[in-house]
Structures are given as C-alpha cells and as structure tokens.
Structure 1
C-alpha cells in the first residue's frame, strides 16, 4: 500500500520540477542546469498482464547537454525485486523516448539508501549487458538545514531534506528551523510545504512534533488538511481534559466516602466527636491519611486516638 510519505518523497519533484538541479549540486554531481522541465506520463506498462508505474517521471532540458529523463522513485525499505523493475524502467524509457534516462531514488533511512545505491549488473558471468546504478538521496548525503534563512532561500530542497531526515535524532531541531522559516513566506508558498512535511513524516514520531510546532508557531495556517489535524488535536485535548476532570471528581468522591467511614465507625462505637475533629476529618483530602484514621477509629478509646497515626 502506498503511504503518504512515499508520495511526498517523489511528488515534490512534480511540484518543484527544477529541484533536481539543486539536489545534484548538493551531491556535488556535474549535471547541467535545466532550461525546461516537463512532467511525463508515469505509466510504463508493457502489457496488460504487468502494470508498472514510475513514481514520478520528468523530462529535463538543458542547454549544454540536451534533454534527459528523470525517473524519481521513493523507496521506504529494501526490496530484492526493485532492481529488476528499475532496470525495466530504464530500458523502457530509453526505448520509448530515445532519451538518456536517469534514476533518482529517495530514501528515509541509511540502510535502505546504501542498499539502493549498490550497482546491479544485469548479464551473465563477468559480462554485464546493463548495470542499474541509481542516484540515491538519503540521510547520509542530504545536508541537515539548521538555518531558517537557508531554508527560506530554497524551500523545496529544505522540505525534501526534512522528509529524508524524518527518522533522524536531529529531526526536532530541523522541524523547528522549518517552522521558523515558514513564518517569513506567503501563504501560497507556505501551505504546500507544510502539507508535504505532514505527508512525508506520515507515521513517524516526528509527525507529532511537526503537528505541535504548526499549532504553536503557525496557528494562522488555514489549509483544509491541517484544519482536520487541528480539529483532531483539539478533540484529543478536550477528551484528555474531560478524563482529568472525571478522575478528579472520582478522587474527591473517594475521599468523601473515606471521611464518612471514619465518622461512621466512631459513631457506631459511641465515641464523642467534637465539631473541630469532625471538620478535620471531613476536610482531609489525603486518602492515605483517611485510611490510617479509619484503622485507628476501630480501636480508639477517644477521638484523639484517631489522629495519633500522624
């Protein structure tokens, strides 16, 4: 089942087609700057029996080297079958579009990224006819952005970095940087970034951190998606408040009954209880103290004996 995190990791390239140029610069790779980017159909189905779809497929034009195809795949875990699929994608794209294809794989953990980056030769014995060699982005090579000004300068790259580092121990600081950066940008720029991060973090613990940061730091955020999240957060807070109130009422009822039990035992034993002692018993809100008084009330010869447990 495709998760929202999976979708966010590749769809950001659809919303920001020139993002690959900054990613390649970040990785220190000599790809030329694009002059145009076109989103292409991602369906690479050969026959009806086998349905194959690339997560995101872009045609990128460059002035110095001409056009090429960028296939973006989001990979959440190791999959022994993926390399064969990727080899198929590359061969299919080369055959259909007659353009050089490049495979970019986005990962959220180092182990998956290291696995995806291993070249996979396709051939026999020591003669590979085709080698699948993806360009991989993961926590190991995507920089951590801790400066809000740097994040504002390139929000698309900062957003991708945040998603990729979603399971990092530094994620709370990264998210605080993003929430600070988003205060300085217009609504139409900020809203998609907030949503991408929500989707990218998906079920990771960092999603709760981001939710709280957005509630506090971006309380003006008005997206319909976030309004649902905020409504859920308010409902949870209301339920917690009700539970705490019920627990407090139960605790008060328990201590009231315990005080009544102490007075009832003293009354049954025919012991005189002055008004001052009665007020002391009914005014006690410590159930442990009341339990001690109750035990003493069973053997006390006068009301003063009840309080000697203290």
Structure 2
C-alpha cells in the first residue's frame, strides 16, 4: 500500500501539512519551496507562464469564453530540468470557474490525471453535473524521461444563462529542497489524514473481492468536507463511502469488462470519477468499501484487479489546522 501526502486547497484555506511528505523509513522530511518570481515568455496560445530555475506557474492569459465548447489548451512543458532522477517535485492544480481536467505526461505517456474537478450544473465530459473540490496537489518523482508536460481541458456551458460560463485555472509546479529527516512517530506521518492515496490489487480468477479501508479523519473538524478521486485501472470496481455503516457516497461501477459480474452481462463505463463530497461529523466513523469481480479465466484480458483512491479535503466553518 502506498500513501502519498497530497494537499487540497480551498479558495481560502491551505492545509498546514503542505510542508511534509512521508519517507520510506517512516520519518518526515521538511520541504522548502523555491519562490516563483521571474517572468517568462508566453508559451502557447492563450497561456502565460512564470518560471524559476525549477518549477513553473501556468495560467490562461485570458479566460476561455467560447460558449458550448470543449477546449484543450496547448501542452505546457514542466521546467524540472535541474532535478536529478529520483528527486521529487510537486504540482498544484486549481479550478476558478468551470471544471477542468489536468493530465501530466512523461515522455508522451500519461503518468497522472486529476480526473474532472470543479463544479457545474450542466452536462459535460464529467456526466450530467459535477460537484467536487476545486484544488488538488500531487507529489511526483522524476524518472528517466527528459520531457514532462501538463495538459488542461475544459467544457463551457450550453449557453450564457449559466454562471460562471468561462474558464480560469492555475497550475503551480515547485521543486522542493529536501533537508535532513525530522524524526516521526514510526511508520505513520505526523501530518496524516487528507491526501492519503490508497491502492489495491487482486490476482485470482473468478472471484468476487471486497476491500475495506478505514478512512482517517483525525485532521478534520465538524463542517469540513472530504471526497475521493477514484480510478479503476484494469477490471471494473465500485467505490462506496460508509458513515456508521451506512453508504453515503457511491461511485457506481466504473471500468470496462466483456464478462459478467455484479454490473451485469458486461460493462463499458468511464474508469475514473470524483465521488460526491461528504460532510464530516466528529461523532461518526467512516470507511471505504471497494468491490470487484475478476475474469473467469486467462482468455480474458485484463483479468485481474488494480485500483486506487485519493482523499482530498475542503475546510468548512471551523477550518483545517
């Protein structure tokens, strides 16, 4: 099981754990971010960038306003050339108006996607409507590829009766400097909770499988909200969040399969989604249940299960400290 600390930022609040990440030995490394201050040239249509020696700050030079339109911005190169292979960098994605989807590619291959995030009461690539968090942060590790880029997508509403009806977003790329480890309490980071990334897999044929994941809410206060971005990588999965044993958030069955299962005779659905927000109550306990059904035999491909779920949080009236 992997856990990557990821920070969700609301319009007014940044989680205080942003300066920490988990080491393999269970200790905590403090990360100091370089400031972003030098103007760079415009790089691509309708985009503006700011650069330092490592990292970058991307945003549209003007809002995208063409109504009833899907738009993909030109790919932007990430400036991480000063990093060595194996060193970490951080990317923060923020939606201001209508929804966006952010994709990170390395050497032309997709290595991370946020899925669609934001809020809209009109249909788009996300479905009939969407209501998720507006910000997300991920820590990545530089591999052998020499090219990294970010691609941003949006879909404007059908007509001007919807508000907002234009697109604004920002992406921050930072390359932290790692100091000596700060002792931590064993394998559990001192800043655990929001940002957990949990994955699971199962490799036996013809089996119905459930995974039970206890959701750590120790950093939340009453009125805060949390959600999960979930993805089925191979065969179908269904993700549910339970409060005191009662299902309160359900992804439905995600993914594709040409064999029968709890989804029916076959399924051809999207593979990822952002689940509905859950409002935290300190008197409740929360857990996630993930389901799958593996293929009958080796004649099917893919036949086995692999999934992941990433938790993010939004501050309510009490704030997240």
TM-score norm. by structure 1 comes to 0.23
Q: Which has the larger radius of gyration?
A: 1
The alignment's TM-score, normalised by the length of structure 2, stands at 0.22
Greater per-residue helix proportion = 1
1 or 2 for the larger relative contact order (CA 8 Å, sep ≥6)?
A: 2
